[in-house]
């Protein structure tokens, strides 16, 4: 992320290019390998020659059996020491003429007379010593190989900005290119208010002088806050894409290293390189990893992390706002950030990106549906209505899971049933074909029938009964699924009481029918107790009045005191427990009366579950109103039965067809009988 004008390894778009081999380096290594090949060739060639004693060379010369040869002085052997190579005739009965010419080599001392004998034969040529060059190359080549290895391990690594060995203090921020990684506001949906808030940032990055002439100051930093998956990072990319400026992205965890002072050094390097690329946008994702409150923890906090935070605070406070550099950060934990980081002059603007509403979910589905082959019967509006509380990432995952489901079924397009199956898998877990005996299955059926009966009787407006199944999903043996008909922003006291009553229905359904109950209602009881305690302690929905009892528990890593003072007397705590108990027991009695008054409907729902395994909310409503199911039941079990019937019919028709083909044709309308 260095200056594009000073860094040789940058492309035209300012992006760091990978460090490649230079031509001269390739040539040098080719020369080295070529020399090694020549030496190997010479060594291998000389190794094929027969080695003979020096006196045999002299005798063969006197006998005239030497065809040719060369004499090399060898200083390493001492005075009058020579290396002799050449060709000699040896006897061979199988060869033509009775002799054969073979190469030879010899080394040793030659006296004056012996040397003159070789010279007089005029078969030998005297050359200078050839040992210096091979010895020199033999000594240099290992040295050059070591230098080459060190070059690739250290020198070239040090040239790689921010990634090389010993370059810990370099920033790890990544630069997004304008053409390949460009994202615009068209690809961001479901957060129109947030896009309006950051629109002036885009205008400032495009024309900073417009604001500077009026004496205005653009916010130094913008903090985007919202639940996971709502599109904080995507919105930051869209801001950079709309402004057409360099976009540097880094994670908060990239500042933390095992070496002391590395995080602070990377912060300084990031801001320095941002100034060089101005106007630009620096985005820090998950800033809570480095920006948590100082002095946190039992031991006084992490000194290294605090040094990094201090460096970040200093750089942002001294940042020249006229340079055209905007700092954006994202987090889903704004409560843990240090207050000095959020003051005006640093992150002085907070953009909240919440969960999308109905229209936002539909827009998000339209964006992601462009990559999915959807059938004509797919209604994105109905999907958006059925997915309240889903974030953008959840909706993208929903369409992706539906595409995978359709592919497993060998379909060419994604249908509505595939999307519903994917939604059930994401929300409630995947179906598990767990083997249960008849007793357990019957107990589960009446448990879920109790939930479904009360849900059908009480849920009328905001929530409706969606589906009931005794097929295990996730960790549950059965499920009663409800869905919101609209975005729920709050719940009344009556609606909360209905939730508690519905949670009690499962245990009561078991008890009314079988006279006994199981531990399958453990999660139901826990859920009902939590709602009742919140009603008493936090929401003022009890006879104790609109009073909040007890402080919310603080996290120890924020540096709060371990021992907290609870402003509750023993008498008040006792009254709270009594109010919680009264709420639970009251709704338990209410649920029991509803089930007993509609015992026949309970039995019908349970029998339908045992028959079909899964029924929809409309089927439960039909049983409550008419005493029977009047619409078609489409479940996994019925689909399997239909497929088996279809396969059997096809097999029967194929058998009949083959038999008719084997028999002779009937005459005069008579039937062919096998």
Residue 186 has a CB neighbour count (10 Å cut-off) of 10
Q: Do the beta carbons of residue 221 and residue 375 sit within 8 Å? A: no
Which residues lie below 8 Å from residue 495, measured CB to CB, with a gap of 6+? 462
Triad 609, 615, 620: Cα angle to 5°: 90
Tokens, residue 462: 């905001």
Between strands 247-251 and 280-285, the pairing is: parallel
Return d(Cα 283, Cα 326) in angstroms, integer: 8
> What is the DSSP-derived secondary structure letter of residue 164?
S
DSSP 213-225: HTT----SEEEEE
Residue 522 has a CB neighbour count (10 Å cut-off) of 10
Tokens, residue 594: 């509803």
Widest Cα–Cα separation across the chain: 135
Triad 213, 214, 219: Cα angle to 5°: 100
Return d(Cα 531, Cα 652) in angstroms, integer: 58
Return d(Cα 159, Cα 8) in angstroms, integer: 11
Per DSSP, the chain holds a count of helices (H) and strands (E) of: 22, 14
Which residues lie below 8 Å from residue 206, measured CB to CB, with a gap of 6+? 243, 244
Tell me the catalytic residues.
Answer: 448
- Tell me the angle at which helices 570-597 and 599-612 cross, rounded to the nearest 10 degrees: 80
Sheet holding 479-484, edge to edge: 479-484, 463-469, 614-616
Identify the H or E element spanning 69: strand 66-73
Which residues lie below 8 Å from residue 11, measured CB to CB, with a gap of 6+? 17
Return d(Cα 485, Cα 18) in angstroms, integer: 53
Return d(Cα 443, Cα 513) in angstroms, integer: 9
Q: Which of 376, 367, 383, 377 is nearest to 424 (CA)?
A: 383
């Amino acid at each position: 992320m260095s200056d594009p004008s000073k860094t040789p390894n940058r492309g035209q778009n300012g992006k760091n290019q990978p460090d490649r081999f230079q031509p001269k380096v390739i040539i040098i290594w080719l020369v080295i390998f070529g020399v090694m090949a020549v030496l190997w060739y010479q060594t291998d060639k000389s190794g094929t020659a027969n080695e003979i004693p020096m006196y045999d060379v002299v005798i063969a010369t006197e006998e005239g059996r030497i065809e040719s040869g060369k004499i090399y002085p060898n200083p390493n052997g001492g005075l009058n020491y020579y290396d002799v190579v050449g060709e000699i005739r040896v006897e061979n009965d199988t060869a033509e003429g009775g002799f054969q010419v073979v190469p030879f080599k010899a080394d040793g001392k030659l006296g004056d007379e012996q040397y003159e004998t070789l010279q007089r034969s005029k078969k030998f040529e005297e050359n200078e010593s050839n040992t210096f060059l091979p010895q020199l190359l033999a000594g240099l080549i290992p040295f050059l190989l070591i230098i080459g290895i060190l070059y690739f391990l250290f020198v070239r690594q040090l040239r790689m900005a921010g990634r090389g060995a010993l370059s810990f203090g370099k920033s790890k921020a990544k630069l997004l290119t304008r053409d390949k990684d460009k994202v615009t506001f068209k690809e961001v949906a479901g957060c129109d208010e947030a896009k309006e808030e950051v629109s002036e940032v885009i205008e400032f990055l495009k024309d900073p002088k417009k604001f500077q002439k009026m004496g205005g100051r653009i916010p130094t930093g913008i903090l985007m806050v919202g639940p996971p998956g709502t599109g904080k990072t995507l919105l930051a990319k869209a801001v950079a894409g709309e402004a057409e400026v360099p976009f540097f992205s880094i994670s908060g965890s990239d500042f933390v290293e095992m070496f002391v002072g590395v995080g602070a050094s990377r912060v300084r390097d990031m801001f320095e390189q941002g100034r060089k690329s101005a106007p630009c946008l620096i985005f820090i994702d998950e800033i809570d990893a480095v920006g948590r409150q100082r002095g946190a923890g039992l031991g006084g906090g992490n000194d290294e992390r605090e040094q990094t935070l201090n460096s970040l605070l200093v750089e942002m406070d001294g940042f020249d706002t006229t340079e055209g550099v905007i700092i954006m950060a994202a987090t889903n934990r704004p409560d843990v950030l240090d207050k000095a980081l959020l003051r005006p002059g640093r992150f002085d603007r907070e953009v909240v990106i919440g969960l999308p509403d109905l229209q936002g979910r539909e827009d998000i589905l339209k964006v992601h549906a462009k990559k999915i082959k959807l059938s004509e019967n797919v209604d994105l509006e109905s999907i958006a209505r059925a997915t309240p509380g889903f974030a953008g990432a959840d909706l993208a995952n929903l369409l992706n899971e539906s595409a995978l489901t359709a592919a497993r079924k060998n379909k060419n397009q994604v249908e509505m049933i595939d999307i519903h199956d994917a939604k059930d898998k994401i929300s409630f877990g995947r179906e598990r074909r767990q083997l249960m005996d008849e007793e357990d299955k019957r107990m589960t059926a009446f448990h879920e029938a109790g939930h479904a009966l009360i849900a059908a009787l009480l849920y009328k407006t905001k929530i409706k009964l969606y589906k009931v199944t005794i097929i295990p999903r996730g960790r549950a043996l059965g499920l009663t699924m409800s869905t919101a008909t609209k975005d729920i922003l709050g719940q009344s006291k009556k609606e909360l009481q209905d939730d508690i009553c519905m949670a009690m229905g499962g245990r009561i359904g078991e008890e009314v029918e079988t006279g006994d109950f199981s531990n399958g209602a453990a999660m139901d009881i826990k859920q009902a107790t939590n709602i009742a305690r919140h009603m008493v302690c936090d929401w003022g929905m009890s006879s104790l009045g609109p009073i909040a009892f007890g402080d919310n528990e603080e996290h120890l890593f924020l540096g709060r005191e371990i021992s907290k003072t609870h402003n509750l007397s023993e008498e008040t705590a006792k009254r709270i427990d009594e109010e919680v108990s009264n709420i639970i027991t009251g709704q338990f009695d209410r649920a029991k009366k509803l089930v007993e008054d509609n015992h026949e409907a309970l039995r019908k729902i349970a029998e339908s579950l045992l028959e079909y395994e899964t029924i929809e909310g409309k089927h439960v409503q039909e049983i409550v109103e008419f005493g029977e199911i009047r619409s078609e039941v489409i479940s996994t079990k019925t689909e399997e039965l239909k497929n088996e019937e279809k396969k059997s019919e096809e097999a029967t028709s194929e058998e009949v067809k083959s038999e008719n083909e084997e028999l002779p044709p009937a005459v005069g309308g008579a039937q062919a009988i096998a």
